[in-house]
Amino acid sequence: NAGVTQTPKFQVLKTGQSMTLQCAQDMNHEYMSWYRQDPGMGLRLIHYSVGAGITDQGEVPNGYNVSRSTTEDFPLRLLSAAPSQTSVYFCASRDKNTEAFFGQGTRLTVV
Amino acid sequence: SQQGEEDPQALSIQEGENATMNCSYKTSINNLQWYRQNSGRGLVHLILIRSNEREKHSGRLRVTLDTSKKSSSLLITASRAADTASYSCATGNSGTYKYIFGTGTRLKVLA
C-alpha cells in the first residue's frame, strides 16, 4: 500500500517552461487536493477534486491547471512557469470528512 | 486568507514539559484536524475532532474543540525531543469540500 505518491521530488524549471507534477493514490479516495507551501506560511489550496471528472479552484489557482480522469491520478500542470511558483507542492487524498493523507512533496524551483 | 490561525507561531520547551498550541478559525466547520510536519517532509495526520465533539485523546495528545469560540487546542504531554516539528490545524468547512490549513506552530523540544 503506497498511499499518496508524488513525482518528481525535485525539479528546476526555467521561466516559461511547462511541466506536470504527478500525484497518484491507491486508497480509492474520492477527494484529492494540491497545496503549495512557501517559507513561513501554511499550506495554501491550489485546486481540488471531489471525484473523477470533477475539479474546482482553491485559494491560489492562477497559473495551474488540473484534471481528474481517474480516481487514482490528479496531475497538476504548470503551463508557463514563473519564479513566483517556486515552492514545495503537496498532493493529498482523503474520503469525505476524514483525515487527509499527504505525499512527500515536490520541491520546485523556477529560475 | 488562511482559515486557521495557530498560536503561538513558535514554542520552545524542555523535554518532559507539556506543549499547548491553539488554533482559531472563522467559519462553521464539520471537523478540525491537527497535523505534524517534520522539516522538508509531508504532513502526517495526528487527530481529527468532529464539530459535535469537545475533547479527544490519542496517546500523549489531547485535543479540545470549542465551536462557540471557534477555537481548538492541542496539548502534547511529557514532550520528547522527537516531538520537534511544525504543527498545523486544518478545518473541514461546512458546505464546501475544502480543507484549509493554518500557518502552523513550530515546536522545539530541547533535550
What CA–CA distance (Å, rounded) separates A102 from A90?
A: 7
For B26-50, the pLDDT digits (tens) are 888 999 999 999 987 889 999 999 9
pLDDT at A105: 95
For B60-109, the pLDDT digits (tens) are 999 999 999 999 999 999 999 999 999 999 998 777 778 888 889 999 99
The three cell numbers locating residue A97: 470528512
Inter-chain touch B43–A98, beta carbons under 8 Å: no
Nearest to B42 among A48, A99, A103 (CB): A103
* A11, A14, A15, A21: CA torsion to nearest 10: -30
Q: How many CB pairs under 8 A join A and B?
A: 60
For A42-79, the pLDDT digits (tens) are 899 999 999 999 999 999 999 999 999 999 999 999 99
Q: What are φ and ψ of residue B51, in 5° steps? A: -65, -20
pLDDT at A1: 64
Sort out which chain B residues have CB atoms less than 8 A from A23's CB and list them. none
What CA–CA distance (Å, rounded) separates A64 from A46?
A: 8
Inter-chain touch B42–A104, beta carbons under 8 Å: yes
Sort out which chain A residues have CB atoms less than 8 A from B97's CB and list them. 31, 48, 50, 56, 96
A78-87 in b/e burial notation, b at 16+ Cβ within 10 A? Answer: beebeeebbb
Nearest to B99 among A33, A40, A105 (CB): A33
What CA–CA distance (Å, rounded) separates A11 from A54?
A: 28
The helix/strand/coil state of B83 is helix
